[in-house]
């Protein structure tokens, strides 16, 4: 397993607990794709991580949502362009607003074309409902949109802050994203449209497995049964592995 993330400079300080907690609880390869900045001007660097500079002008799938200035991400697979991965490498790509509470060496996942994902609401929201959330700003024909992108009435959203697959699958995801992202995303105004796009592509083109909520959870997840106890997030008497904090909570690790 390789753990990877991408980050812009404005989120660097906030992400310290992520880098430190993963360092403590995962001893394998860790890669941080630094979008538009290097560490030459910073008083600290991310020990234990390979730091890969990604020039903003090189990013193929740029899209600027109206709700967040200078928003860039590589979570849809474009990170494969900036590192010499092998096809069978297994990559867990995470957002950096996470804390890893306990060792993940016993979290044994092997992807042979399958994406492993986690939920951020219980029950998971219907994608047909998600695209109509006012903050996303979609004002088109919902039924026509769903038909065009093969969104079924029972298609339910997963969270793209945690995705695990082999590099072959990440490359395939990226190829499809490149072919449709501009037309798709320009129908929305909120950065979470990226999540909707990734959901739709994976559901239409890949086998995928929703992992147990003990793998990744948060107190703000709608309907969650996870509870904060003694500065740890617990799910059914077990410590959650990754806590999705949104930079709003602190946990021991």
170's enclosing H/E stretch is helix 167-185
pLDDT digits (tens, 9 = 90+) for 119-134: 999 999 999 999 999 9
Are 3 and 28 within 8 A, CB to CB?
A: yes
Mean pLDDT of 198-205: 98
Q: How far is Cα 238 from Cα 242, in angstroms, rounded to an integer?
A: 12
pLDDT > 90 in the chain, percent: 92
Look up tokens 């979470």; give the residue: 192
What is the Cα gyration radius of the chain? 18
Please write the tens of the pLDDT for every residue from 3-59: 999 999 999 999 999 999 999 999 999 999 999 998 776 667 788 999 999 999 999
pLDDT at 41: 66
Predicted confidence at residue 106, as pLDDT, reads: 67
Question: Cis omega before residue 123 (within 30°)?
Answer: yes
Residue 221 has pLDDT above 90, yes or no: yes
Helix (H) or strand (E) holding 228: strand 227-229
Distance CA 43, CA 153 (A): 51
**How confident is the prediction for the chain on average, in pLDDT?**
95
Residue 47's CB is within 10 A of a number of other CB atoms, namely 9
pLDDT score recorded for residue 107: 73
- Whether pLDDT at 152 is above 70: yes
pLDDT one-digit tens code per residue, 70-107: 999 999 999 999 999 999 999 999 999 999 999 997 67
pLDDT at 40: 73
pLDDT of the residue at 39: 75
Question: How many C-beta atoms lie closer than 10 Å to residue 56's C-beta?
Answer: 12
Per-residue burial over 211-226, b if 16 or more Cβ lie within 10 Å, else e, is: bebbbbbbeebeebeb
Tell me the mean pLDDT in the region 138-145: 96
Contact by Cβ (8 Å): 235, 211: no
Under DSSP, is residue 159 helix (H, G, I), strand (E, B) or coil? strand
Closest by CA to 191, choosing from 135, 126, 252, 113, is 135
Q: Which of 45-49, 86-90, 178-182, 193-197 is predicted least confidently?
A: 45-49
Its pTM stands at 0.95
pLDDT tens, position by position, 162-174: 999 999 999 999 9
Q: Which long-range contacts (CB under 8 A, 24 or more apart) does 213-216 make?
A: 213/118, 213/119, 213/122, 213/240, 214/238, 214/239, 214/240, 214/241, 215/107, 215/118, 215/162, 215/240, 215/241, 215/242, 216/98, 216/118, 216/159, 216/161, 216/162, 216/240, 216/241, 216/242, 216/243, 216/244
Structure tokens at 32: 């941080």
pLDDT at 108 over 80: no
């Amino acid at each position: 397993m390789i753990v990877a993330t991408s980050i812009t400079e404005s989120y660097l300080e906030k992400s310290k607990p992520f880098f430190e907690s993963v360092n403590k609880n995962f001893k394998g390869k860790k890669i941080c794709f630094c979008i538009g900045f290097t560490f030459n001007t910073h008083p600290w660097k991310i020990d234990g991580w390979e730091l890969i500079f990604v020039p903003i002008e090189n990013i193929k799938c740029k899209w600027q949502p109206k709700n967040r200035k200078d928003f860039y991400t590589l979570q849809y697979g474009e990170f494969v362009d900036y590192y010499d991965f092998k096809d069978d490498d297994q990559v867990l790509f995470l957002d950096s607003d996470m804390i890893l509470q306990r060792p993940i060496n016993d979290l044994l996942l092997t992807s042979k074309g399958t994406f492993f994902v986690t939920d951020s609401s219980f029950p998971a929201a219907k994608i047909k409902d998600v695209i109509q959330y006012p903050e996303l700003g979609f004002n088109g024909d919902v039924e026509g949109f769903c038909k065009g992108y093969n969104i079924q009435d029972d298609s339910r959203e997963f969270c793209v802050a945690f995705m695990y697959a082999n590099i072959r699958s990440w490359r395939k995801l990226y190829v499809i994203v490149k072919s449709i992202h501009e037309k798709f995303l320009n129908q929305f105004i909120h950065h979470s449209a990226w999540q909707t796009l990734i959901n739709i592509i994976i559901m239409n083109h890949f086998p995928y497995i929703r992992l147990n909520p003990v793998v990744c959870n948060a107190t703000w997840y709608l309907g969650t049964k996870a509870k904060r106890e003694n500065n740890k997030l617990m799910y059914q008497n077990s410590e959650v592995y990754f806590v999705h904090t949104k930079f709003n909570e602190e946990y021991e690790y």
